[in-house]
Amino acid sequence: MHGKLRRDSVRHRASMWENAILVLIGASAFVLAGNAHARGIQQKWTTALFGTLVPFCLAIFLHRRSLRWPFWFSLTICLGVHLTAVWVIFQFVLASITNFSILFWLPVMLIEAFILLVAVKKLENKLTGKSETVKLSF
Protein backbone atom coordinates (compact mmCIF):
# COMPACT_ATOMS: atom_id res chain seq x y z
CA MET A 1 0.00 0.00 0.00
CA HIS A 2 2.75 2.43 0.96
CA GLY A 3 4.66 1.73 -2.28
CA LYS A 4 1.58 2.55 -4.36
CA LEU A 5 1.13 5.87 -2.57
CA ARG A 6 4.80 6.78 -3.10
CA ARG A 7 4.65 5.95 -6.82
CA ASP A 8 1.65 8.24 -7.28
CA SER A 9 3.38 11.14 -5.55
CA VAL A 10 6.54 10.66 -7.62
CA ARG A 11 4.47 10.55 -10.80
CA HIS A 12 2.68 13.74 -9.74
CA ARG A 13 5.98 15.57 -9.16
CA ALA A 14 7.35 14.44 -12.51
CA SER A 15 4.22 15.75 -14.16
CA MET A 16 4.63 19.10 -12.42
CA TRP A 17 8.24 19.39 -13.65
CA GLU A 18 7.23 18.41 -17.18
CA ASN A 19 4.56 21.11 -17.17
CA ALA A 20 7.06 23.65 -15.86
CA ILE A 21 9.48 22.75 -18.65
CA LEU A 22 6.71 23.12 -21.23
CA VAL A 23 5.85 26.58 -19.90
CA LEU A 24 9.52 27.59 -20.05
CA ILE A 25 9.80 26.33 -23.63
CA GLY A 26 6.71 28.31 -24.60
CA ALA A 27 8.04 31.47 -22.96
CA SER A 28 11.43 31.00 -24.61
CA ALA A 29 9.76 30.58 -28.01
CA PHE A 30 7.81 33.78 -27.47
CA VAL A 31 10.98 35.71 -26.54
CA LEU A 32 12.85 34.18 -29.50
CA ALA A 33 10.12 35.25 -31.93
CA GLY A 34 10.09 38.77 -30.46
CA ASN A 35 13.87 39.08 -30.76
CA ALA A 36 13.81 37.85 -34.36
CA HIS A 37 11.18 40.46 -35.21
CA ALA A 38 13.09 43.23 -33.40
CA ARG A 39 16.30 42.39 -35.28
CA GLY A 40 14.56 42.58 -38.65
CA ILE A 41 14.90 38.91 -39.57
CA GLN A 42 12.52 38.01 -42.39
CA GLN A 43 9.35 36.31 -41.21
CA LYS A 44 9.94 33.32 -43.48
CA TRP A 45 13.17 32.48 -41.63
CA THR A 46 11.41 32.74 -38.28
CA THR A 47 8.82 30.35 -39.69
CA ALA A 48 11.63 28.02 -40.76
CA LEU A 49 13.14 28.19 -37.27
CA PHE A 50 9.89 27.34 -35.53
CA GLY A 51 9.13 24.77 -38.23
CA THR A 52 12.27 23.04 -37.05
CA LEU A 53 11.87 23.53 -33.32
CA VAL A 54 8.28 22.35 -33.00
CA PRO A 55 8.57 18.86 -34.57
CA PHE A 56 11.94 18.10 -32.98
CA CYS A 57 10.93 19.34 -29.52
CA LEU A 58 7.74 17.30 -29.84
CA ALA A 59 9.75 14.18 -30.72
CA ILE A 60 12.04 14.72 -27.72
CA PHE A 61 9.08 15.37 -25.43
CA LEU A 62 7.25 12.23 -26.56
CA HIS A 63 10.38 10.09 -26.12
CA ARG A 64 11.33 11.66 -22.78
CA ARG A 65 11.16 8.30 -20.98
CA SER A 66 13.76 6.62 -23.21
CA LEU A 67 16.42 9.13 -24.27
CA ARG A 68 19.31 6.81 -25.07
CA TRP A 69 22.22 7.38 -27.44
CA PRO A 70 20.57 5.63 -30.47
CA PHE A 71 17.64 8.05 -30.16
CA TRP A 72 19.93 11.10 -30.14
CA PHE A 73 21.99 9.77 -33.05
CA SER A 74 18.84 9.04 -35.08
CA LEU A 75 17.44 12.46 -34.23
CA THR A 76 20.69 14.12 -35.35
CA ILE A 77 20.53 12.34 -38.72
CA CYS A 78 16.92 13.44 -39.16
CA LEU A 79 17.85 16.99 -38.15
CA GLY A 80 20.53 17.12 -40.83
CA VAL A 81 18.09 15.94 -43.50
CA HIS A 82 15.43 18.34 -42.23
CA LEU A 83 17.76 21.37 -42.19
CA THR A 84 18.91 20.67 -45.74
CA ALA A 85 15.34 20.32 -47.01
CA VAL A 86 14.08 23.42 -45.17
CA TRP A 87 17.02 25.50 -46.40
CA VAL A 88 16.37 24.47 -50.01
CA ILE A 89 12.64 25.18 -49.70
CA PHE A 90 12.97 28.55 -47.99
CA GLN A 91 16.05 29.75 -49.91
CA PHE A 92 15.10 28.73 -53.45
CA VAL A 93 11.41 27.81 -53.64
CA LEU A 94 10.24 30.73 -51.49
CA ALA A 95 12.99 33.12 -52.65
CA SER A 96 10.67 35.98 -53.60
CA ILE A 97 8.53 35.72 -50.45
CA THR A 98 9.60 37.60 -47.33
CA ASN A 99 6.44 37.28 -45.21
CA PHE A 100 5.55 33.62 -44.84
CA SER A 101 3.31 32.99 -41.83
CA ILE A 102 3.82 30.04 -39.58
CA LEU A 103 0.12 29.24 -40.00
CA PHE A 104 0.81 28.19 -43.59
CA TRP A 105 3.63 25.92 -42.41
CA LEU A 106 1.64 24.40 -39.50
CA PRO A 107 0.19 21.46 -41.52
CA VAL A 108 3.69 20.65 -42.76
CA MET A 109 4.98 20.69 -39.17
CA LEU A 110 2.27 18.30 -38.01
CA ILE A 111 2.91 15.86 -40.84
CA GLU A 112 6.64 16.17 -40.32
CA ALA A 113 6.29 15.44 -36.59
CA PHE A 114 4.57 12.15 -37.38
CA ILE A 115 7.13 11.24 -40.06
CA LEU A 116 9.93 12.22 -37.68
CA LEU A 117 8.66 9.87 -34.96
CA VAL A 118 8.52 6.98 -37.43
CA ALA A 119 11.91 7.78 -39.02
CA VAL A 120 13.69 8.14 -35.68
CA LYS A 121 12.28 4.82 -34.49
CA LYS A 122 13.30 3.02 -37.71
CA LEU A 123 16.82 4.47 -37.55
CA GLU A 124 17.03 3.58 -33.87
CA ASN A 125 16.03 -0.02 -34.66
CA LYS A 126 18.70 -0.18 -37.39
CA LEU A 127 21.37 1.13 -35.01
CA THR A 128 20.57 -1.19 -32.13
CA GLY A 129 19.49 -4.22 -34.14
CA LYS A 130 16.47 -4.57 -31.85
CA SER A 131 12.85 -3.99 -32.64
CA GLU A 132 11.41 -2.44 -29.51
CA THR A 133 7.98 -0.96 -28.98
CA VAL A 134 8.06 2.58 -27.67
CA LYS A 135 5.30 3.87 -25.47
CA LEU A 136 4.79 7.55 -26.18
CA SER A 137 3.60 9.52 -23.20
CA PHE A 138 1.56 12.67 -23.48
Q: Give the pLDDT confidence of 64-121 residue by residue, as tens digits.
A: 777 788 889 999 999 999 999 999 998 999 888 888 888 888 999 999 999 999 999 9
Angle between helices 69-88 and 43-62 (to 10 degrees): 160
pLDDT at residue 60 is higher than 90 = no
Q: Give the pLDDT confidence of 6-50 residue by residue, as tens digits.
A: 555 545 555 777 777 778 888 888 888 888 878 888 888 888 888
Q: How far is CA 28 from CA 21, 74, 83, in A?
A: 10, 25, 21
User: How much is the pTM?
Assistant: 0.74
Compare 34 and 1 and report the one with higher pLDDT. 34
Q: How confident is the model at residue 1 (pLDDT cuts 50, 70, 90)?
A: low
Give the amino acid at 109.
M
| CA separation for the pair 123, 103 (Å, rounded) | 30
